[in-house]
Structure 1
Amino acid sequence: MSAPVPPPDDSPAAPQTPAPWGRLQQWWAGLSLRASLLWVLGVTLVTPALLLLVVGQRIAQTQQQTLLAEAMQSVMVVGSASLGDPMWAIDTPAIEAAMRRLLDNPAVVGVRVREERPDAQAIEMGSPTMLARLQRGEAVDGVVVRREEIFREGLLLGSLQVWFDTRLQSPAVRQGQWQLVALVLLQMCASLLVLSVFLTRRVARPVERLKALASAMVAHGAEPSARTERRRLDELGQLGRLMFEVQQQLQDSFGALEEKNRQLQHMALYDALTGLPNRNLFRELVEHDIGQAQRAGGRFGLLFVDLDRFKTINDALGHAMGDQLLIEVAHRLRSTLREADVACRQSGDEFMVLARQVVDWQELATLSERLLQALARPVLLGNTPARVSGSIGIAMFPDDASDFETLVKHADVAMYQAKSLGRARYSFFLPEFNTRRQASVALEQQLSEAIERREFVLHYQPQVHAQHGHMVGCEALLRWRHPARGLLAPGEFITMAEESGLIAEMGLWVRDEACAQLARWKAEGLRPGVMAINVSALEFRDHRLVDSLRDAMMRHDIAPQEVEVELTESALMADSDTSLRIIDRLVELGVRLAIDDFGTGYSSLAYLKRLRPHQLKIDRSFVRDIATDADDRAIVKGVIGLASTLGMDVTAEGVEDEGQRSFLCQEGCTYLQGYGIARPMPAEDVARWMRERVVSPV
């Protein structure tokens, strides 16, 4: 039954201090094996004992009501436990039912439950007379109050107050309870003593010995005391035997790891293909020699070796044969150098040589000559004999530089100078080489920017018929309007454009602009004839050549027969299969094909028969001296006769005077081109030049 709510209890609530799970885990992990065993034994023995006491008290309360007064704490525990679920579910009838069950105990004279939720009212049950006296604060002999807070999942739900009549307590029952507690404690102590001794001798101490053994195995190998554990037949004996197996595996693993470390160290310092020191090790050796030379006033040389035409061999025979060639080159370098000298592979087909204890430049020259002779010997790659040469640049410490990077840089500059002088030779570093190299790098940067700034322009050199002088076409020639150096001819930047890869983008612009200019002239009513467009060797191998040319002609409405592609003999011979495929595509497109500078390259008659170009262009070097040089006259006559026999036209380049023109006309040359006809001119000047002449179609 419910009763008036008593005033709220102002006593401070017990602080909620549950132990954090993480801190408990750390504490447990820090315990030794012996302490862990003791804790486990204690918990496993104490818990059943406590449960036995609680169950005994509940049985005593059920059997004898007079013993309930001796178990007030148990009543409070049972009461709080029975009220937890109803208070959690806010089930008032269930709460009242639990309170009434507490009042069934003869020792309980009053019960009060106060919930912690807002606006909740306390519930009281018990004897009305007793509750009234207690509320008035009157003292009642033998009546005590117990208060218990009720928690659920760490949350305070409320409190339970129970008034007990202690006059119902029985000394005999109390004595029996103490005897039960004493018996349980005695059993716990005895069990703890026996189990702790057994586990210590049987588990803890052997595990400690195995732990010490494991440490000794890692540091110094197996100890003789380990045999005690290995002789055991239980799990610890099995563990001891496994530890020895692990030791063997560790020793094998350590050996393999040491071998792997040696291999990694070798890979970090030596080239995997040739076995020569790599750049990292070479740098350390050179810097060590720099320190020694500075202290002793000595000198040494650094040679930069680059193979000539290695890419051609690599592309023609495959990368496997290229690798074989590099291995053979490394072998020849090692066998040619002195014992004190060191060779390294810089990268690709580049090598460096440290020539130690050098007295003068002549020693480096002699060494370089021996290296060039060794490299020039034929190499058998598979079943194919191949020849390769090298270009060597030489720098000396301390004459040319006093640090590694500058020495390599100057030797590299000297190597490029050797290549520019014709390859297969050596060159010493000179300061002016570096100046020219820096100027070349600056010009390459300017060349890249010139494409973006549209600094290129096309000039056009007319071509006329040799017999009647009518214009039959013109050759588009690229010029660079350099902002500081003025108008530059192709010879000053085309090679650099090819080496830097910019030639492809320049070629796209040239083809489009040439077709656009031809369309503009036609729109003005002029008949310029065929537009000849030069294509470099690198452009000719570009798969975009034919597609870009087709797109330019379609965009500007130019017929294929109005365009002529000029190729050099070296471009045709560079890659025969690719050349034939591109030539076939050009023939399908319908454009004209001309062989430029004929006679200065391979002059393969088989190629003339296979390709059937529309015309041959005789190089100006043969035309220049035809008035005085019988050999040039014979060559020009031979080219004209060959072209006539094969049904090809012939254009003579470099015609400058009337004597050359008369001879060429007499021999049957088809077209003439040169300063004697007209200089290369801007588009507007060519238009004026055409208007002053009679234009005749091809």
Structure 2
Amino acid sequence: MGLSLIFMMLIGVFSYFNAQQLTSLYSEQRKIKQQQTVVEFNGLLKKTGIQLVNLVDSLSLLSSPNPDIREKISLHWLSLAITWGLESAVLMDEEGAEVTKWGSQPLEPTQSVVRKVITDAVPLQELRCHEECRLSLISPVLDGDGTIRFLQLTASLADTILDFQRITQSDIGIITPSASDAYGKDRLGKTSMLISALTSSEDRLPLIQNLAKLRGWRDTDIEGMDFEVFTHDYLGDQFEVQFFAIEEFAGNQAWVVVITETSELQRQIDEARMLYTVTGLSAGMITLFLIVLVLWRPIRSLQRQARALPLLPQGKYEEARERLKKMAPNRVFADEISLLQSTSIKVTHQLEEYHLLLTQNTKKLYDMAHFDRLTGLTNRVHMTEILEDKFTSEEDKDRIFALMLLDLDHFKRINDALGHNIGDQLLVIVAKRLLSKIRASDTIARLGGDEFCLILNGLKTETAAAAVARNLLKALEEPIHIDDRNLTITASIGITMSPADGASASSLLQNADLAMYQAKFHGRDNFHFFNFQLHKDADTRMALEVELRRAVQDKEFTLFYQPQIDFATGRILGCEALIRWKHPEKGLLSPYFFIDTLENNGLIVPVGKWVMEEACRQCLIWREDGLGRVDMSINLSPRQFADPDLLEHIQTVVNKTQLEPNQLEIEVTESLLATDFDYAVTLLEKLQEMKIHIAIDDFGTGYSSLSYLKQLPLDKLKVDRAFVMDIPNNNDDKQITAAIIAMAHSLSLKVVAEGVETEDQAAFLKSLKCEIGQGYLYGKPMSAEAFAQLLKTERSLA
């Protein structure tokens, strides 16, 4: 019905606008015709005036025995009257007095017009309308004796009016004001307007008389009706009446009325409107019938479908299928409704299958949201929900449990060295071992990475919790075999007790985390119970961070320098720059107290830049003091190693201090290289291109592969003090140190031994052809002034 209504409205609007367009077109054509009427009449009137002017100009050409103008006109008057349509002519002397006249009813010249012609000496036309309208022309002419005469020629406008009627197929009349009652029979009602001429007086005069009574014309009314058009019904016919003023001649003015019968045209317009209306209504009825005929069967089918589809969300798939099968099929050919029926039935089958599949997947989604995909253990979200449920439980026993946070020691190194695939397999094995050591009532979760959380229900004492922790650590001690590799893993465990240590999941997790880091701090592979002192320690660390930021701002750091000795000559080759903190209250602090904090909060980057600048500046000072070349070794932290501005900063410092690039040595650790090996190789190669030496520090304590070491662009290898301190008494350390030095020499690397404190250690290292030694035997870290004094002493002895 809505579609039918829309079609009907469109057809109605189309019909209405067609009728309006027809009316508008008729109005435009009528305006054009009215303008043409005015132009046509004025043209005919002007044509008559031009003819009179041409006649005056041609009088001198008339043949006559006597050149006198009067004789010429008298001789040719009859032919002039017939040829030019003249009614009369009057010849006047130079004073305007009548000399002679021709014609049956000559008009008396208007004295005011005559005087104007005498004064201006130019022809002047005059329109004279009484019983009929005449056009007169008064023009000066030259007589045969050379005197100036004035000739008035008068022509009737009857021919002009008849020509206009013939051309325009309209009746035309001329209306003039009348000052007397001599022509009262033709006056328009009680007005002073007089109909001087009308082409069809008997038929049209009553129309004008009736129209004058309706409008109550006055002279002033006529003046304001220029180009106005009135449509008037008279005796059952419809007429269009148009008024316009004739151009004023010598002070006289008349008005033209054009009467056009429009009954036939109006009838045609009415018939066209009726045709449009009937056509529109017929088209609308036919459209409505066709819509009902075409859409009846589809609508019935769609109604059945509309009653069937709401059953699908209710799970009534069988009932929906039965209703869909009752949809009216098209017996002639398959259409969209038939396709919709078959598709709906297929969709019903699919929805039923999807519903079953959704039921199955809901559990999978629940498991994905609550359990770790790698190990199958409870995840952090689910574990937090379990803890919150315990604290909101009405049973007091539910709130009694121990919470353990277990983190694998150095797991990142295994990932970096062996790959994440090995690391994932290791995590799965660890999860199984932990599950085997807890009860069915307990919960174990993987919080992420290598971090596990255990909820041990019913444990009331730290003794019971400690026993479980020992069993867990012991279970992890057994070597793990993966891909022909035997891996050993340890863990650090933080333990907190509920409800004594906290009454919310977040507080217990925070407490266990603090305890776990305390276990790592005490050597790893152990457990630690939470105590509230740990919170105070955390606050202390935060306070330390604040103090370090202030120290960076106030430049409270200084550098100490430990000499490096050439074993072959015993001379000082250079030194290692070591940072110290001049604390305003605690005095001079070693890096042990603050370097980790600087690394963790990112302050190591600006501090490391200061160390680079200060160490190189000190080299410049020593050289200017005449102490010669001093090589400077500077440690590079992991944060600095990742700084994108590192190379640019080093180059800027070297240029600023005019330091020889090969005087500068950058020390990096094995763990730093293991983070991103490709990036490390690229960066170290760029440093070597700058002629800066590269040394690997604390070698032997990390987990980097020896094959990686062969690919690194290195110049030196520093043996960690852990292997030097017990030689030559410890045979294992002797063998390890010897192997490291031999390996370094095979790679064409120089070796620096750290922690040399005795002559025996120095002698053993010399025997292995170790090139450089560093340790308390040659000097502790000292201030720049003390190191300068040491250099001066050595130089003076040399």
TM-score band (shorter)? Answer: 0.5 to 0.7
Is structure 2 residue 320 aligned with structure 1 residue 227?
no
Is structure 2 residue 764 aligned with structure 1 residue 641?
yes
Is structure 2 residue 309 aligned with structure 1 residue 309?
no
Flag the 1:501–1:574 CA change in 2: closer, same or farther, 3 A. Answer: farther
Letter in 1 for 2:430: V
Is structure 2 residue 773 aligned with structure 1 residue 673?
no
Flag the 1:130–1:644 CA change in 2: closer, same or farther, 3 A. Answer: farther
| Structure 2 SS opposite 1:352 | strand
Q: Deviations over 1:326-350 (max 9, x none)?
A: 2222222222221111111112111
Matches within 5 A, 1:347-386: 347-386=448-487
Letter in 2 for 1:458: L
Matches within 5 A, 1:263-412: 263-292=364-393, 295-296=396-397, 298-412=399-513
Q: CA shift at 1:402, angstroms?
A: 1.3
For 2:650 and 2:790, how far apart are their aligned partners in 1? 27
Conserved? CA contact 2:417–2:704, under 8 Å: no
Q: CA shift at 1:161, angstroms?
A: 6.3
Query: Counterpart in 2 of 1:609?
Result: 742
Letter in 1 for 2:738: L
Flag the 1:107–1:201 CA change in 2: closer, same or farther, 3 A. Answer: farther
Flag the 1:160–1:595 CA change in 2: closer, same or farther, 3 A. Answer: farther
Is structure 2 residue 665 aligned with structure 1 residue 535?
no
Point out which structure has higher relative CO (alpha carbons under 8 A, 6+ apart): 1
Q: 1:586 aligns with which of 697, 707, 715?
A: 715
| Structure 2 SS opposite 1:353 | strand
Matches within 5 A, 1:135-174: 136=212, 138=214, 162-165=231-234, 167-168=236-237
Flag the 1:97–1:225 CA change in 2: closer, same or farther, 3 A. Answer: farther
Q: Deviations over 1:185-238 (max 9, x none)?
A: 998999699768756854544433332233344543316444332544253444
Conserved? CA contact 2:563–2:574, under 8 Å: yes
Is structure 2 residue 561 aligned with structure 1 residue 460?
yes
Matches within 5 A, 1:15-26: none
For 1:405 and 1:107, how far apart are their aligned partners in 2? 106
For 1:213 and 1:494, how far apart are their aligned partners in 2? 74
Letter in 2 for 1:372: L
Q: Deviations over 1:370-389 (max 9, x none)?
A: 21122222222222221111
| Structure 1 SS opposite 2:460 | coil
| Structure 2 SS opposite 1:275 | coil
Conserved? CA contact 1:507–1:539, under 8 Å: no
For 1:264 and 1:83, how far apart are their aligned partners in 2? 78
Q: CA shift at 1:490, angstroms?
A: 1.7
Query: Counterpart in 1 of 2:22?
Result: 78
Flag the 1:183–1:403 CA change in 2: closer, same or farther, 3 A. Answer: closer
Conserved? CA contact 1:565–1:594, under 8 Å: no
Larger Rg, first or second structure (1 or 2): 2
Is structure 2 residue 3 aligned with structure 1 residue 36?
yes
For 1:547 and 1:637, how far apart are their aligned partners in 2? 44
Query: Counterpart in 2 of 1:599?
Result: 724
Is structure 2 residue 644 aligned with structure 1 residue 522?
no
Conserved? CA contact 2:567–2:766, under 8 Å: no
Q: CA shift at 1:286, angstroms?
A: 0.6
For 2:714 and 2:289, how far apart are their aligned partners in 1? 100
Query: Counterpart in 2 of 1:695?
Result: 795
Flag the 1:269–1:596 CA change in 2: closer, same or farther, 3 A. Answer: closer
Flag the 1:213–1:361 CA change in 2: closer, same or farther, 3 A. Answer: same
Q: 1:494 aligns with which of 566, 570, 595?
A: 595
For 1:552 and 1:697, how far apart are their aligned partners in 2? 33
Query: Counterpart in 2 of 1:619?
Result: 755
| Structure 1 SS opposite 2:581 | strand
Flag the 1:450–1:189 CA change in 2: closer, same or farther, 3 A. Answer: closer
Flag the 1:697–1:135 CA change in 2: closer, same or farther, 3 A. Answer: farther
Conserved? CA contact 2:425–2:482, under 8 Å: yes
Is structure 2 residue 586 aligned with structure 1 residue 485?
yes
Flag the 1:502–1:604 CA change in 2: closer, same or farther, 3 A. Answer: farther
Letter in 2 for 1:279: R
Q: CA shift at 1:498, angstroms?
A: 4.3
Q: CA shift at 1:503, angstroms?
A: 4.3
Is structure 2 residue 476 aligned with structure 1 residue 509?
no
| Structure 2 SS opposite 1:229 | coil
Conserved? CA contact 2:719–2:737, under 8 Å: no
| Structure 2 SS opposite 1:695 | helix
Letter in 2 for 1:318: G
Is structure 2 residue 530 aligned with structure 1 residue 424?
no
For 2:350 and 2:38, how far apart are their aligned partners in 1? 70
Flag the 1:572–1:262 CA change in 2: closer, same or farther, 3 A. Answer: closer
For 1:241 and 1:109, how far apart are their aligned partners in 2? 80
Letter in 2 for 1:162: T
For 2:572 and 2:279, how far apart are their aligned partners in 1? 128
For 2:344 and 2:639, how far apart are their aligned partners in 1? 70
Flag the 1:98–1:368 CA change in 2: closer, same or farther, 3 A. Answer: farther
Flag the 1:168–1:268 CA change in 2: closer, same or farther, 3 A. Answer: same
Q: CA shift at 1:534, angstroms?
A: 5.0
Q: Which runs of 5+ in 1 are unaligned?
A: 1-33, 55-73, 111-125, 141-158, 588-592, 624-635, 656-671, 675-679
For 1:595 and 1:369, how far apart are their aligned partners in 2? 35
| Structure 2 SS opposite 1:343 | strand
Conserved? CA contact 1:230–1:240, under 8 Å: no
Q: CA shift at 1:284, angstroms?
A: 0.5
For 2:548 and 2:370, how far apart are their aligned partners in 1? 39
Q: 1:249 aligns with which of 345, 350, 356?
A: 350
Q: What is the aligned length?
A: 557
Q: Deviations over 1:410-465 (max 9, x none)?
A: 11111111111111111111222222232123323543554454332112356789
For 2:783 and 2:581, how far apart are their aligned partners in 1? 12
Letter in 2 for 1:619: G
Flag the 1:38–1:697 CA change in 2: closer, same or farther, 3 A. Answer: farther
Letter in 2 for 1:36: L
Flag the 1:37–1:448 CA change in 2: closer, same or farther, 3 A. Answer: same
Paired-residue identity, %: 27
For 1:259 and 1:98, how far apart are their aligned partners in 2? 93
For 1:607 and 1:285, how far apart are their aligned partners in 2? 52
Letter in 2 for 1:78: L
Query: Counterpart in 2 of 1:569?
Result: 699
Letter in 2 for 1:215: P
Q: CA shift at 1:519, angstroms?
A: 1.0
Q: 1:211 aligns with which of 280, 283, 306?
A: 306
Conserved? CA contact 1:393–1:411, under 8 Å: yes
Letter in 2 for 1:643: K
Conserved? CA contact 1:109–1:164, under 8 Å: no
| Structure 2 SS opposite 1:274 | coil
For 1:427 and 1:373, how far apart are their aligned partners in 2? 15
Flag the 1:387–1:186 CA change in 2: closer, same or farther, 3 A. Answer: closer
Q: Which runs of 5+ in 2 are unaligned?
A: 40-164, 174-198, 217-227, 239-262, 668-696, 727-732
Conserved? CA contact 2:433–2:476, under 8 Å: yes
Flag the 1:495–1:581 CA change in 2: closer, same or farther, 3 A. Answer: farther
**Taking structure 2 as the reference length, what is the TM-score of the superposition?**
0.58
Q: Which moved more, 1:427-436 or 1:314-323?
A: 427-436
